[in-house]
Structure 1
Amino acid sequence: MLVLLPPSETKAEGGDGPSLDLSALSFPELEPVREKLVSAVADLAGDVPASLAALGLSERQSGEVARNAAVRTSPTMPALSRYTGVLYDALDVKGMKPAERKRAAGRLAVASALFGLVRADDLVPAYRLSASSTIPGAGPLGALWRPVLEPVLAGLGGLVVDMRSGPYAGLARIPGAVTVRVVSEQSGGRRLAVTHFNKAHKGKLARALACAPGEPDTLRKMTTVAAKADLRLEQTGPNALELVI
């Protein structure tokens, strides 16, 4: 199975890995678009006001532009350690035992506006680029990624659990992927989509699926693994699950 996570706007600082090597990343079919975008964001970083506008940032966030300027030369770290925020706090990679971390490396991948798709242990630098950004000279990201990323996603094989947020799901479709909706159960059994704590609960579920001793490669196994982690996961359609909180 493969659980596809959203990225985070925030990234961990530093790293002890070598500078970015696009040819070393998983899914080499994506390298031409990666190269184009890395060059585009690095070049754009030479014009700070234009970068802030394209990335939707304020002047107080000019440090993010500096990250992009150094995207080819700054140190790297594994993707699961680079991305931060609520979902990744709940995933708690640092708290995984060695065997759990090894399983997670094979079961988790991260959607990325800059790299398209990276596996858990792919070495990536800090950068700033979101799915909704439009980089001058590169155009809308969906138009760039869709023709190359959709065939890669379609060819993954096995069970794919799509936890991407809307803008990243819009970069490429995944035929037959399992989706997870976080809901709260109201009186009378009515269910409402959860927004505020959505990421935290998806992070907990991703951790349970990634660390399980046996691979949860069916929806039935997913619900069983979730139950052992005190998570209520229910199948609501052929490829749809609801995480009830």
Structure 2
Amino acid sequence: MLILLPPSEGKTAAPSGPVLDPSRLHFPMLAEPRALVLKALAEASSSGDALSVLGVGATLAAEVHRNTVLDSQPCAPAHRVYSGVLYDALGYASLPAQAQGRADDAVLVMSALWGALGFADPIPAYRLSMSVWLPETGRLASFWKQHLTGPLNEYAGDSLVVDCRSSTYAAAWTPDPQHTAAVNVFTVRDGKRKVVSHFAKHTRGELARHLLLRGGAEPATPQELLAAAQEKWEAELVAPAGRKPYQLNLLLAG
């Protein structure tokens, strides 16, 4: 089982730690595209229109400046650098050691800067979205799709892929739809379904935590994933259509 997560927009910078060592990241075959994006990001972040290029406001100027010196910044495991609603709900730090080890093996984070990361990979805090267009790369989602498809297809094999990514990050890699379930979260009130971003992020984090903590064999098929989700939520599974994978819909009372 692989659990795909988006990164968080905000990052928690490590107060101390080793500097970036690309050889310690998963997927060493991505070294060249990572170096290209890292260089392009530093150049864009030092330009006069950096805030506009990166699509952020003036309050994030310090984070944008940090992009220019990432190779000298302290690093921490990805599960500590990424923060926010989904990561708080997953709660890596409060997992028992066995579940943390399972997370280190099962969780991949899609990243505009690194392409894809293991949950324990040491990285610095940075500011970059997959929707950004950089002169050297073009739109990052399209750039990474060229480089991620082969390595991630091989890495995933026939494993069940639990896709908790947002649409921006889902564009960078399309797993085999027959072995993938995209996780959707709806609040239901008076029979009507509504997507609420905060609840969706939180519930996806809770689902990841549940899958990491539950006993017994991990789910190996979308149908087994549905059964695992139904241990905590009202849920349904929609069959794949074309390149669209299974849809695991979690239904919350509004």
Q: What residue number does 2:208 align with?
A: 206
Q: State the AA in 1 paired with 2:175.
A: I
Q: What residue number does 2:184 align with?
A: 181
Contact 1:104 1:211 in 2 (8 A): no
Cα displacement string for residues 86-119 of structure 1 (whole angstroms, at most 9, x for unaligned residues): 1111111111111111111111110100001001
The alpha-carbon distance between structure 1 residues 129 and 135, as it changes in their structure 2 partners (threshold 3 A), is: same
1:240 aligns with 2:247: yes
Matched residue of 1:126: which SS? coil
Matched residue of 1:117: which SS? strand
Q: What residue number does 2:37 align with?
A: 37
Mapping 1:56-135, distance limit 5 Å: 56-135=55-134
Q: What residue number does 2:243 align with?
A: none
Q: What residue number does 1:167 align with?
A: 168
Structure 2: state its 5+ residue gaps.
241-245
- Shift in Å, 1:191: 3.3
Contact 2:113 2:128 in 1 (8 A): yes
Contact 1:223 1:232 in 2 (8 A): no
Structure 1: state its 5+ residue gaps.
none
Q: Distance in 1 between matches of 2:20 and 2:214?
A: 31
Q: What residue number does 1:27 align with?
A: 27
Q: Distance in 2 between matches of 1:17 and 1:2?
A: 28
**Identity of aligned pairs, percent?**
37
Judge which range, 168-177 or 76-85, deviates more.
Answer: 168-177
Q: Distance in 1 between matches of 2:143 and 2:78?
A: 22
Contact 1:180 1:242 in 2 (8 A): yes
- Shift in Å, 1:16: 4.1
Q: Distance in 1 between matches of 2:162 and 2:229?
A: 14
Q: State the AA in 2 paired with 1:2.
A: L
The alpha-carbon distance between structure 1 residues 207 and 185, as it changes in their structure 2 partners (threshold 3 A), is: same
Contact 2:141 2:168 in 1 (8 A): no
Matched residue of 1:81: which SS? helix
Matched residue of 1:179: which SS? strand
Q: What residue number does 1:218 align with?
A: 221
1:2 aligns with 2:2: yes
Contact 2:18 2:75 in 1 (8 A): yes
Judge which range, 205-214 or 25-34, deviates more.
Answer: 205-214
Matched residue of 2:79: which SS? helix
Q: Distance in 2 between matches of 1:64 and 1:124?
A: 15
Q: Distance in 2 between matches of 1:181 and 1:131?
A: 20
Q: Cα RMSD between the aligned structures?
A: 1.7
Q: Distance in 1 between matches of 2:182 and 2:207?
A: 12
Matched residue of 1:174: which SS? coil
What TM-score, normalized by structure 2, do the two folds share? 0.88
Mapping 1:135-146, distance limit 5 Å: 135-146=134-145
Number of aligned positions between the proteins: 242
What TM-score, normalized by structure 1, do the two folds share? 0.91
